Every structure is written in C-alpha cells, then in structure tokens.
Amino acid sequence: MNSFDTISVIEGNIVEQEVDAIVNAANNSLLGGGGVDGAIHMAAGPQLLEECRTLGGCPTGGARITRGYRLPAKWVIHTVGPVWQGGNAGEDSLLASSYRNCLELAAIHKIRSMAFPAISTGAYGFPPDRASVIAVTTIKDFLQNDDLLSDIRLVCFSRSAFCHYSSALNRIIGE
C-alpha cells in the first residue's frame, strides 16, 4: 500500500470520524477551548476534561493521548500546534513536530486509523497552504517506516481548507 492509498482528505466534522483515534488541536493547558478543541471536548463528555487535568498540559509541538469517551474514536491524541508569528519563529518545525508526535503515539498504541484536523490553521493563524504541505510531507515521511497505519484522514471543516489539503496531497504524493 502506498501513501496515496493511506492518506485521504475529506471535508467534514472530526468528532464524527469512525477511526481508532482523532487528533485534537489543543491549547497548552489541554483543558478545552474553542474550535476543534471545544467541539471534541463537548462531544467526548466531561470525562475527557477530567482525564486531561491529570496530564499537566502539553508543550507546543508535543502530543498526549487520552481515551475518547463518548466519541466514535477510542482515543484522542491532543497536540499543541504553533501560533503563527510570521514564519520566522520556528513555526514550520513545531507544526511538523505536532504531526510527528501524534503519529509516534499512534504507533505506540497500535492505532491503525486516525483523523487529523488542519492543526494551527484556525485561531492560531497558520497559513493553510503552508500548513497543508507540512502535514502531508510529515505524514508521508512517517509512513515510510510504519506499516500499521492504514487510514489517515485529513479532516477539513471548510471547503477552503479542503482545497488546500487536497492540493498538497496531490502534489506531494503524486511526486
């Protein structure tokens, strides 16, 4: 199976994905927030917040894993993407680290299917054209040494994000 068979881009709501794990674009506290983070906490129920309180937060670029509670997904992998500061503050490497750390947790927990949101492209202001290339490249590189993950979805909440991520997937995997 090649990366193109494994990675897909869909327009939809990440909390509805029937995968082993969904990724939460969280803040450093992991205690909920707006956007994807708020939607995941609301859908998972109060037990998710209780478990997140035991984790002690998460650094930018890091990742932590919890149970999925009331979500269709068994796991939630929380990652903190970088806030866009113009592109000269290490944002690219921090975003790649977010994706890589999520994938590494997936490997540790023997996760076969997972769904990512467009990390950092909402309130954190990361340009989606740039973020999509980092996401697809990091996932493609990881898959070269992983044979367990067979379904990775890049779930885009808007048509605009869907177009950016689809374009990146076609350009990078089509190479």
Catalogue the E-assigned strands of the chain.
7-11, 21-25, 63-67, 75-79, 113-116, 151-156
5, 20, 37, 146: which one is catalytic?
37
Question: Does residue 95 contact residue 83 with C-beta atoms inside 8 Å?
Answer: no
Question: Does residue 51 contact residue 94 with C-beta atoms inside 8 Å?
Answer: no
Instruction: Give me the helix-helix angle, 159-173 and 128-143, nearest 10°.
Output: 40
The kind and range of the H/E element at 157 are: none
Structure tokens at 13: 């709501």
The residue count for the chain: 175
Active site annotation includes 37: yes
The residue with tokens 């998972």 is 44
- Amino acid letter for position 99: Y
Which residues carry out catalysis?
37
